[in-house]
Amino acid sequence: MGWKTFYSVSEDYFKDLYNRAEKWGDLNPYRLTVQGVEHYGAGNVSNAPTGWFLSPKIQHSIGKTKITIKYYLWVEGGATGKASIGVVFYKNDETSKDEQGYDLHGGTHTVSQAPTESTAEPHELVIEQENNKIVYSIDGEKLGEAVLEAPLSSFKVAVKVDEANNGNVGIIVTSVTAQYYDYIEDMVSTMVSIMNIMMWVMMGVTFVVLIIKAFKPRKVTGERVG
């Protein structure tokens, strides 16, 4: 309640890119099979370390926002390594930095034990923002927070292969959803809820009063007959 989506891309979008062999910014399109089901996304998979691969620039909304990124950590059978994912915010054409001068925030997955066969592990990165302060977490675990330079006019999704041994390692993004919080709708909804509660309370009070009156003794008046 209150959250409104201002940007969204899903597997259908990435499937279309894959069929047209088009990139999503710097990210390559991929098709992967997970437990017999085909999935589509865009990312960076490599058998050697790479730089950051960035998505196209996405316009950011004002106010309180939340960015949810669903992705797979891809590891080839027999491989180990590290892969990272994060978000870069922009103030117009420049990156927005935090107090320490960093402009990319997210997390790194480390694969220290090689799987016997290729695996795709699902994960979710969430960036919550309010008053230029971001809190970022992966799979519900908070990784950190930072205050960025204003205004946050846009952002990009970033992925990177930090280390790869004996095979391919990487990250494939399958959906991005960006939302802003609608305070007006929330206020209206709260007011409606309060009014509904008050209405039932008043009806309940009225009902109780009627019950009491129904059982209250009455004085009979009039002339005696006979």
DSSP per-residue string spanning 29-71: EEEEEETTEEEEEEEEEESS----EEPPPEE--SSSEEEEEEE
Confidence of residue 204 (pLDDT cuts 50, 70, 90): low
CATH architecture of 3-184: Sandwich (2.60)
**What's the pLDDT tens digit per position in 1-30?**
589 999 999 999 999 999 999 999 999 999
Confidence of residue 190 (pLDDT cuts 50, 70, 90): very low
Q: What is the pTM of this model?
A: 0.82
DSSP per-residue string spanning 130-165: ETTEEEEEETTEEEEEEEPPSP--EEEEEEEEEEEE
Domain borders along the chain are 3-184
pLDDT of residue 208: 58
* Lowest model confidence (mean pLDDT) among 6-20, 35-49, 162-176, 206-220: 206-220
Question: Which residues are paired to 39 by β-bridges?
Answer: 32
CB 98 within 8 Å of CB 86: no
pLDDT at 192 exceeding the cut of 90: no
Confidence of residue 37 (pLDDT cuts 50, 70, 90): very high
